Structure 1
Amino acid sequence: MQTFQNSFVVTPLEQFEILPLFKFFSISERFVFTNSSFFVFLVFFVIIGWFYFSILHQSTLFPNYWQNIVESIYLFILDMIQDTIGEDGYSYFPFIFVSFIFVLTCNLLGMIPYTFTVTSHIVITFSLGMATFIGINIVAFRQHGLHFFSFFFPKDAPLMLTPFLVLIELLSYVFRVLSLSIRLFANMMAGHTLLKILAGFAWTMLSAGGIFYILQFFPLAVVLALTGLEMGIAILQAYVWTVLVCIYLNDAIHLH
């Protein structure tokens, strides 16, 4: 009975709680290494280890399984750049490729039980989005200088409506940061929350015993199906993130 009651106490949002692991300075509360920081570093080590063992350490003339995955992703991102930006975007391939791999690894690593989904926090996705937005603006000013501001002036627009149209264009441009960050954060958080709720519901029915022991297999089956769906969403969100970055880069380079 105690287990049955405690199952309602645990909130599905508990999995997103940022917990301090240790402090860098005992007299300061500002430099705290959290579980979020740990998994960010873990993502970097996973990516470095994956590329090292699949390409640098065990690369062969005939690609092995892991090497084939890396090469497929490489060609996939290259084709995406060609389709959205053109040949002018090849110089930005390293940034786009690393962005895709980082977001994809964060999303997939968060699917492992008892791990932490880094991209389910708005502070992480907003930081990535803001850094990307600033970098794209640097590219735009380097390419066009002050002529970049012509991007906010609609062509052939009536002179009377120009101030309003410029304001709308400027707001929509600034909100690209939110478009990048909130889409990724909301999808990952919502999916993991739903899985937690259904898993908790199945565990509650299992703890209740009796006929609920049999009925709990129905929500459990839904959880398994949603887990597969969430895996697809994790990959899809990395793809959407990369496509948006390519589109924004194309606007910065070609002023379309």
Structure 2
Amino acid sequence: MKIGELYFSFTNPSLFMLLTLSLVLLLVHFVTKKGGGKSVPNAWQSLVELIYDFVPNLVNEQIGGLSGNLKQQFFPCIFVTFTFLLFCNLQGDLGPLFIVLALTGPELGVAISQAHVSTISICIYLNDATNLHQTCLLFIYN
């Protein structure tokens, strides 16, 4: 798309960045609208607090020799980077997992129906084999 002298394109990475941003904003929505600020945090708020506590510990362990104030200046950039990469990676591990799980349901149904039909066939064959065999024996002995 051309606007003036600038060309804009919407690519797959752009789509996934928007999807990641949507997931992060959705998480923030659940934290702020569904229990943010309560004395007992809900599961979403606990998750965000866990991530928020993990990153400063990481910064303090990895950036040595700097004062606490200087480390805190890097925290917002590192936190945003960590959160963005976390959601991008979850999107690439969980997306295919949901597809596999969606395909597993019909496959499970096919497996159950095949086992059912095979069991019925075996029962029919055994019935014919035993009843025909007994009928033949009764015919011979009479």
Secondary structure of 1:113's counterpart equals helix
Partner of 1:100: 82
Residue type of the alignment partner of 1:44: L
Label 1:68 to 1:33 Cα distance change in 2 as closer, same or farther (>3 A): same
So what's the TM-score if we normalise by structure 1?
A: 0.32
Partner of 1:50: 27
CA distance in 2, matches of 1:113, 1:92: 34
Residue type of the alignment partner of 1:32: S
Kindly state the Cα deviation for residue 42 of structure 1 after the two structures are TM-superposed.
1.2
**RMSD across aligned C-alpha pairs, in angstroms?**
2.8
CA distance in 2, matches of 1:52, 1:94: 19
Label 1:68 to 1:114 Cα distance change in 2 as closer, same or farther (>3 A): closer
CA distance in 2, matches of 1:39, 1:79: 29
Correspondences of 1:149-188 after superposition (within 5 Å): none
User: Would you say how many aligned residue pairs link Structure 1 and Structure 2?
Assistant: 91
Partner of 1:212: none
Correspondences of 1:124-163 after superposition (within 5 Å): none
Q: Which runs of 4+ in 1 moved over 2 A?
A: none
Identify the structure with bigger relative contact order (alpha carbons < 8 Å, sequence gap 6+): 1
Secondary structure of 1:32's counterpart equals coil
Q: Encode CA deviations 1:8-64: one digit per residue, 9 max, x unaligned.
A: xxxxxxxxxxxxxxxx239x9x4221222111111111111211221x212121111
Secondary structure of 1:33's counterpart equals coil
Correspondences of 1:76-87 after superposition (within 5 Å): 76-85=54-63, 87=68
CA distance in 1, matches of 2:21, 2:46: 20
Residue type of the alignment partner of 1:48: L
Residue type of the alignment partner of 2:52: Y
Unaligned residue ranges in structure 2 (runs of 5+): 99-142
CA distance in 1, matches of 2:50, 2:41: 11
CA distance in 2, matches of 1:32, 1:113: 26
Correspondences of 1:1-256 after superposition (within 5 Å): 24-25=1-2, 30-54=7-31, 56-58=32-34, 59=36, 60-85=38-63, 87=68, 88-111=70-93, 112-113=95-96
Label 1:114 to 1:66 Cα distance change in 2 as closer, same or farther (>3 A): closer
CA distance in 2, matches of 1:75, 1:52: 19
CA distance in 2, matches of 1:31, 1:67: 37
Kindly state the Cα deviation for residue 110 of structure 1 after the two structures are TM-superposed.
1.3
So what's the TM-score if we normalise by structure 2?
A: 0.55
Secondary structure of 2:10's counterpart equals strand
